[in-house]
Amino acid sequence: MDYALYIATVIGAAALFMMMPRRGVRTGRIGAILGGATLGGLWLYLSRSFEAGGGASSMAGLGDGATPYYYVFSALAIGSAVRVITHTKPVYAALWFVMVVLASSGLFLVLGAEFMAFAMVIIYGGAILVTYVFVIMLASHAGDPPPEGAASRAGAGPGESPDYDKLAREPAAAVAVGFVLLAVLLNVAFEPMRRNPAAEAPSDAAIVRDVLTERPAGIIAPGAASDAADAAPVLDNAERVGLDLFQSHPLGLELAGVILLVSLVGAVVIARQRADAADGDGGLRGAGGPSGTPLNGGT
């Protein structure tokens, strides 16, 4: 049985709870050490349990020496994700999220999905995160007068995070529920491995040789073609994704374009500041009532 997975889940939950920003005693450092130790122990357990599995060694292997990269990129992704949700400054949380994106792009490279890796870096790390950083900049508190009636900002000096960034909301309950969900997910994910420990990823060469004998090898994996005659229809990853996208999902592609257009128009309508309302000192702040909101269109 995989009690090690459950033990790692519980200790990881405790470590995450210690790292949550709270008032009072600072246990972040202890939590970080505990979490790192948990992750290291989990990696040791995973690599050992598969080493001792036994079975079809000729079928094993995702690629040439890809396994260490999985552990490195996965640890980077998980550690950065923890920093995203525990850092008290939103800008740093966004920058740590860039780290999560880069690490999971590394995981995609391990999986042989090069197009997805680069698309992820360009779209997430380049476009979406720049939008986030712009909004953080627009919504910064620098130079704002202290708002009346917003007691949550009391005690926040200049250059210091406001209270709602420094205090987590219900950290114990959230961590408990989240990690119960994680335990269930891991139980499901590792069930086939427990039943059949030899169920590794078949290597490309093994699949070409044993499973799909009637197909030319170049279709399955470019590197696995044994002779020149098989290698005629070699497709790389981007070409295969493009073929599948345009052959099997043309309607979805059109709908995606419509969704992007609608969200573009919607974002402009939502975030637009009316020129007459912006002339006042407070922007839309003083405009009360439904006629003052920018959502009812121009009147």
Nearer of residues 41 and 162 to another protein, judged by Cβ: 162
Q: How far is the CB of 160 from another protein (least distance, A)?
A: 14
- Residue 221 tokens read as 């994996």
Q: How far is the CB of 269 from another protein (least distance, A)?
A: 8
CA atoms within 13 A on the CB side of 282: 10
Identity of the amino acid at 195: R
Please say whether the beta carbons of 190 and 4 come within 8 A: no
Q: How far is the CB of 157 from another protein (least distance, A)?
A: 16
Q: What distance in Å separates the CA atoms of residue 83 and residue 32, rounded to the nearest whole number? A: 10
Nearer of residues 30 and 93 to another protein, judged by Cβ: 93
- Residue 101 tokens read as 């994106």
Q: How far is the CB of 283 from another protein (least distance, A)?
A: 5
Question: Closest Cα partner for 175 from 95, 85, 94, 93?
Answer: 85
Q: What distance in Å separates the CA atoms of residue 245 and residue 249, rounded to the nearest whole number? A: 5
Q: How far is the CB of 125 from another protein (least distance, A)?
A: 11
Nearer of residues 30 and 53 to another protein, judged by Cβ: 53
Nearer of residues 232 and 267 to another protein, judged by Cβ: 267
Q: How far is the CB of 159 from another protein (least distance, A)?
A: 16
For residue 179, the tally of other CB atoms under 10 A from its CB is 19
Nearer of residues 32 and 84 to another protein, judged by Cβ: 84
Nearer of residues 34 and 110 to another protein, judged by Cβ: 110
- Residue 161 tokens read as 């995070």
Question: Closest Cα partner for 218 from 231, 209, 204?
Answer: 231
